[in-house]
Amino acid sequence: MLPIARNTALRAVRSHSRLPFLQRLASTLAILEQKEGALNSASLGAVTAGQKIGGSIHGFVAGKNVKGVAEQAAKVNGMEKVIMVDNEAYERGLPENYAPLLVENIKKGGYTHVIVGHSAFGKSLLPRVAALLDVQQLSDVMSIESEDTFVRPIYAGNAIHTVQSTDSIKLFTIRQTSFPPAEAEGGSASIEEGTDPKAECPTQWVSENLAKSDRPELATASKVVSGGRGLKSKEEFDRLIPPLADALGAAVGASRAAVDSGFADNSLQVGQTGKNVAPQLYLCAGISGAIQHLAGMKDSKVIAAINKDADAPIFQVADVGLVGDLFEKVPELTEKLKK
Ligand SMILES: Cc1cc2nc3c(=O)[nH]c(=O)nc-3n(C[C@H](O)[C@H](O)[C@H](O)COP(=O)(O)OP(=O)(O)OC[C@H]3O[C@@H](n4cnc5c(N)ncnc54)[C@H](O)[C@@H]3O)c2cc1C
């Protein structure tokens, strides 16, 4: 089920008691994401996770002109020290040179835990770091039982696995919807220059094409309105879903079938291979509720679904269900909300 690294014993456990004396020895490196001098606040979930482990917490930030980001990170509540590497080579977070950079700094700091968000950055970075350190990575950790025992989903979230790691360095990505960002104020950490191995980077960042939207950011929105294959076409998706989202002040999401059919941009995909969301309200129309979709939204506080099939699996997780034709119900709901 889970690959076992050569020097690793990673095993499922039933329960585990906290070991306070080990906690005092724990030292966490929280990898912080930044872009063009702006700290990604969602990445401060790694600090929150570090607080659950106990012991000291250092932040790590690298990129071009990151002094300001380091100063911002130094104010984060619970942060003891910020390690900063100011080098343009790390600005785009390319894992090919970021991984050796991190390894050097992990070794130098002697950290017991290294935590990064389960974001595109964290997911491409941490496996390389784990391979270089010859330890086992844990992915998508949802909760921390103790300094060596973690809870994570398997089988697209259909089973929850409690695992114990005996690796000397525990490396893990965290589900950001499970660890809210640490408080941005209240800390007064020192800032220290990190080690820069200046590793060669065989890949080159060429360009990026980001979807722009005035709506709330999908991954962090408090309300999400999603559409699925039941919308039938891009024209119908655009006609029905964004107006309902706007009436609620919500972000727009989509199922993979809707994305694959070209109804919505793939940055809007919710699910196992898309984004994880946990809003206060997740309202979806024309989505059947496949397990891969549920994996990305079932932690939502209130789930409301519109589907013409009363037996659709989405109704098994929905708090509120409306059986009916979405082409009738969605415009009706939008009009009522506007009033
Ligand atoms: C490895 C892997 C990863 C995957 N990752 C993801 C992922 O990240 N996210 C994801 O969403 N899926 C993912 N999938 C795909 C997933 O298995 C489903 O195929 C997909 O979620 C189905 O999308 P859907 O619910 O929009 O479409 P369908 O399953 O086709 O459902 C459409 C629904 O619309 C309803 N409907 C139709 N017409 C109307 C109407 N007029 N009014 C009301 N309701 C109507 C139907 O009753 C039906 O329930 C993944 C699959 C695999 C194998």
The model's pLDDT over 281-312, given as tens digits with 9 standing for 90+, comes to 999 999 999 999 999 999 899 999 999 999 99
Q: For position 103, what pLDDT does the model report?
A: 98
Helix-, strand-, coil-residue percentages of the chain, each rounded to 5:
35, 25, 40
Q: Where are the domains of the chain?
A: 10-193, 218-338
The protein residue with its alpha carbon nearest to ligand 1, atom 4, reads: 292
Contact, 96 vs 125, CB < 8 A? no
Kindly state if the Cβ of 258 falls inside 6 Å of ligand 1.
Answer: yes
CATH superfamily of 10-193: HUPs (3.40.50.620)
Kindly state if the Cβ of 269 falls inside 6 Å of ligand 1.
Answer: yes
Q: Which of 256, 307, 333 to mutate to test the pocket of ligand 1 (most atoms within 8 A of CB)?
A: 256
Contact, 135 vs 169, CB < 8 A? yes
Of the pLDDT bands very low, low, confident and very high (cuts 50, 70, 90), residue 155 is: confident
The larger pLDDT score, comparing residue 211 to residue 251, is at 251
Whether 5 shows a pLDDT value over 90: the answer reads: no
For residue 41, the 8-state DSSP code is G
Ligand 1 atom, smallest distance to 273 CA = 8
CA gap 224, 99 in Å, rounded: 34
Q: What is the mean pLDDT of residues 10-29?
A: 57
Of the pLDDT bands very low, low, confident and very high (cuts 50, 70, 90), residue 24 is: low
Kindly state if the Cβ of 254 falls inside 6 Å of ligand 1.
Answer: no
Whether 211 shows a pLDDT value over 90: the answer reads: no
Q: For position 10, what pLDDT does the model report?
A: 42
CATH superfamily of 218-338: TPP-binding domain (3.40.50.1220)
Q: What is the mean pLDDT of the chain?
A: 91
| Residues tagged in the binding site annotation for FAD | 229, 255-256, 269-273, 286-293, 307
Q: Which of 282, 293, 311, 326 to mutate to test the pocket of ligand 1 (most atoms within 8 A of CB)?
A: 293
Q: For position 4, what pLDDT does the model report?
A: 33
